[in-house]
Chain A
Amino acid sequence: MNRLEAIKLITSHLSKDDVIVHANGAISRESFYCNNRKKNFYLLGSMGLASSVGLGIAMSKPRQKVFVFDGDGNILMGFGNLAMIGTLKPENFFHFVLDNEVYGTTGNQPTLSPEIDLVGIARASGYRSSHRIHSSNEFINTFSRINTQPGPHFILFKVDAQVNSECPRLPFTADQIKERFLDSFSE
């Protein structure tokens, strides 16, 4: 499965009230391209910090479900995030890692992901559940089980390295992304 298909699949199972914080680069662009929602927050830069921003939201709004769409490169950059999420244990936190084993935005340089048990690291860090999935069926089975269970959950979704070139840069400024996101809570 490619990442765009994985993002479509995941978002089709979310409610319109769920927050999604996106890592920068292709993850933001592909998610914007296939499912542009007001409660999507896109990081334009700050690689490695989507889960930090998501954690700040999850701790401030305990009743708000927070999804983070991260990449394997992002996770490898900041294991400290896993330690904090695993120990603060926000029940409303769902951490998706779209693992393509490359730095896709910069020309498919390999990451260390194939050598490292990221699912095991998340579990050892204290996530309440941690999963590796490869297919649509595995996603549906896993997500239907954990969706109503307290998190934090870590879901590593193995995807192809293929980059979807039809997804352009976001047509929003950072300020517009923020204002739209903030407005979505007063609707």
Chain B
Amino acid sequence: MKALDFVNLLRKKGFNFITGVPCSYFTPMIKLLAQERSLSHFPAVREDIAVGMSAGAFLSGKLPVIYMQNSGLGYSLEAFASIHMIYHIPALVLISFRGPQDQGMEEHQIMGKHTEDIFKSFSLDYSILDKDIDPKAFTAIKGTMLKKKLPYFLLINKESLV
């Protein structure tokens, strides 16, 4: 889907704080965030800092989004476990699904192979965004996230946000 449509969807659904660490899969979206006034954007230098900031934002009445590569998920999993999962803080987390569609990039293969296992073993809700997302499905995702007061992870396939 178009990155612009996705950013508009985030905004319309009330998300108003976004922080994260870039991935080439997110380049079009990040470019748009610079112009989005109602979705405050705070680029982070490390994924766990983005996770911590999103918690502070939620404690201040914001609805946060985090973005990162699955490599960053490995780095920041403990922050989700010891902040969001015990204080019950919702967030929408966009994870670029590096690996399966990155043949020849050895550095992404192991994390890519096990990314879904991580969600399953931590009992974290996730779905895969491949090319498009139905607005109704997105509403349901937001509902799950708020009802459970937990992060909801969207695995973003290559060239799905263009």
Q: Is the interface of B mostly helix, strand, loop or mixed?
A: helix
Query: How many Å from the CB of B27 to the closest CB on chain A?
Result: 21
> Do residues B86 and A174 form an inter-chain contact, with CB atoms below 8 A?
yes
| Bound form: Cα–Cα A21–B57 in Å | 13
Within 8 A of A (CB), among B67-92: 78-79, 82-83, 86-89
Query: How many Å from the CB of A145 to the closest CB on chain B?
Result: 27
Asked whether A60 and B87 contact (CB < 8 A) given A78-B48, A80-B49, A84-B49, the answer is: no
- List B contacts of A56 (CB < 8 A): 17, 19, 52-60, 64
> Do residues A81 and B49 form an inter-chain contact, with CB atoms below 8 A?
yes
> Chain B interface residue count: which class?
20 to 34
Query: How many Å from the CB of B17 to the closest CB on chain A?
Result: 6
Query: How many Å from the CB of A70 to the closest CB on chain B?
Result: 12
Partner of A46, one of B53, B59, B64, B82: B82
Chain A contact residue count (CB 8 A cutoff):
35
A61 within 8 A of B: yes
Contact with A along B39-63 (1 / 0, CB 8 A): 0101011101111111111111110
> Do residues A49 and B49 form an inter-chain contact, with CB atoms below 8 A?
yes
Q: Is the interface of A mostly helix, strand, loop or mixed?
A: helix
Partner of A45, one of B57, B59, B82: B82
Asked whether A84 and B45 contact (CB < 8 A) given A60-B57, A175-B87, the answer is: yes
Can you name the residue of chain B whose Cβ is closest to the Cβ of A24?
A: B82
Can you name the residue of chain B whose Cβ is closest to the Cβ of A182?
A: B59
Query: How many Å from the CB of B122 to the closest CB on chain A?
Result: 15
Can you name the residue of chain B whose Cβ is closest to the Cβ of A47?
A: B82
- List A contacts of B50 (CB < 8 A): 52
Contact with B along A102-122 (1 / 0, CB 8 A): 000000000000000000000
A133 within 8 A of B: no
> Do residues A41 and B52 form an inter-chain contact, with CB atoms below 8 A?
no
> Do residues B44 and A59 form an inter-chain contact, with CB atoms below 8 A?
no
Query: How many Å from the CB of B15 to the closest CB on chain A?
Result: 13
> Do residues A64 and B60 form an inter-chain contact, with CB atoms below 8 A?
yes
> Do residues A174 and B45 form an inter-chain contact, with CB atoms below 8 A?
no
Asked whether A52 and B48 contact (CB < 8 A) given A59-B40, A88-B42, the answer is: yes
Asked whether A48 and B48 contact (CB < 8 A) given A55-B53, A178-B89, the answer is: yes
A167 within 8 A of B: no
> Do residues A46 and B78 form an inter-chain contact, with CB atoms below 8 A?
yes
Can you name the residue of chain A whose Cβ is closest to the Cβ of B43?
A: A84
Contact with B along A50-77 (1 / 0, CB 8 A): 1111111111110010000000000000
| Bound form: Cα–Cα A178–B42 in Å | 23
Contact with A along B119-136 (1 / 0, CB 8 A): 000000000000000000
Query: Could you jot down 13 A-B contacts, CB within 8 Å?
Result: A46-B82, A49-B51, A53-B52, A54-B56, A55-B53, A56-B55, A56-B59, A57-B60, A60-B61, A80-B49, A175-B87, A175-B88, A182-B59
Q: Which 8 A-B residue pairs are closest in the complex by CB-CB distance? A: A56-B56, A52-B52, A45-B82, A60-B60, A56-B53, A49-B52, A174-B86, A80-B45
Residues of A within 8 A of B (CB): 21, 41, 43-46, 48-61, 64, 78, 80-81, 83-84, 88, 173-175, 177-178, 181-182, 185
